[in-house]
Amino acid sequence: MLVHRHIGNVDFAIDPSQPVGICLKTNENDRLKFSNIKAFIDWIIARARMPATLQWELLSVCNFKCRFCYMVGHTEPTIFSSERAFKLIDEFVDAGVVQVILTGGECLIHPNFTAIYEKLRLAGIIVSVFTNLEKLTAEHIEIFKRYPPYVIEVSIYGHDEDSYERVTGRRAFNQVLHNIEILRDYGFNLLCKTPITTLTHNSIDWIYNWCQNRNLEYLADPSIKDGLDGDDLSDFSLKFEEYYAAEKLRLHLAKNLINSTNLENRDPSRVFSCGVGKVGAYINYDATLSPCSSIRNQRFNLMELSFADAWQQLVNNIQAQENLVISGCNPNCSARSICKMCPAVAFRDEEGNYRVNPAYCERQIALAKVLAISS
């Protein structure tokens, strides 16, 4: 079965029985070789702004209570309305959505996860799933077998039951690893990940080796966000040498990822050079649309607005800022190639002008030095 899509002036079809399954007319197939979805999206959106990629929090609830989580314990427990979710998917198709990344909280425990996932895939949308995988069911496996996800990204939080319990509050170690092996044996694309924190950094070597021994791709990242209620979670962040070593590992692992898009060069002094509001946006658990997970103070209400109207308001908001620069960025800075300065990190004054966050710059420049010295 093929699902026909028309986005901008591009006609294509998606085969939902494949993880990607993009089908183009023969003459276009001959001309274009897409190594990953990003290349396809770049081609589609070359002529127009389009919400081609969405990340979608289906709920703020989780079966785990990770102590460094920015959501659980820092938001009202909220589950995305299934009724609105189903209508939204129809609106995605009209608006030109190509791929959706389902996340949470823990998206597998949304009461209508399977139906939402199936509707997305049958609408010709490519879907990835971010999960802790403790609550994988036979129903999930069946729907993934019928309509495979592009990738399932699984967070692994420890190297035994005790370390798992210390981080997540649950002795879920054996269950999670067992579920990963089930999905691997079915041949799904998997990416295992760990946030490197004060609670997990002693587990990283073990998890890395476990993944290597099973040919599973692995990513670990030491960045920690504040709680969504503003709580300071920086106590869980590694400091100084430990942090730089963890960043070095992150960059090394990201470089090895087949579909990595993390290392592209962009101008850190330009506002929104990352592409939010041009190629995609973020749907919060409370049914609002934001530019990304780090900029949630701009919210457009999807219970009151159609998706197209919310996207248009978000675009207007971003376009009004795109000619702004983030002042104070040194064009000869040694950290340019690894810097991710953006409106989420920069300071903004009352007139709306952005300037670099000196503490962030200091950290990036020190990291660049560590990377250069040891390379």
Sites of contact with ligand SF4 (CB under 6 A): 62, 64-66, 69, 71-72, 104-106, 132, 155, 168, 268, 329-330, 333, 335-336, 339, 341, 356, 361, 364-365
In the bound state with ligand SF4, the residue whose beta carbon lies nearer, of 62 and 289, is 62
- Whole-number minimum distance, CB 134 to ligand SF4, in Å? 8
137: part of which helix (H) or strand (E)? Answer: none
Give the whole-angstrom CA distance, residue 253 versus residue 235.
25
Q: Residue 14's beta-bridge partner residues?
A: 3, 22
- Whole-number minimum distance, CB 155 to ligand SF4, in Å? 6
- Whole-number minimum distance, CB 164 to ligand SF4, in Å? 11
In the bound state with ligand SF4, the residue whose beta carbon lies nearer, of 12 and 70, is 70
CA distances from 357 to 164, 340, 361 (A): 35, 11, 6
In the bound state with ligand SF4, the residue whose beta carbon lies nearer, of 99 and 155, is 155
Here the tokens at position 166 are 């210390």
In the bound state with ligand SF4, the residue whose beta carbon lies nearer, of 110 and 336, is 336
- Whole-number minimum distance, CB 4 to ligand SF4, in Å? 36
- Count of other CB atoms within 10 angstroms of residue 251: 15
Instruction: Report which of 289, 274, 264, 283 is spatially closest to residue 342, judged by C-alpha positions.
Output: 274
In the bound state with ligand SF4, the residue whose beta carbon lies nearer, of 333 and 344, is 333
Q: Which residues contact 101 (CB under 8 A, 6 or more apart)?
A: 53, 54, 55, 56, 127, 128, 129, 130
Give the whole-angstrom CA distance, residue 295 versus residue 318.
12
- Whole-number minimum distance, CB 327 to ligand SF4, in Å? 10
- Whole-number minimum distance, CB 220 to ligand SF4, in Å? 14
In the bound state with ligand SF4, the residue whose beta carbon lies nearer, of 37 and 62, is 62
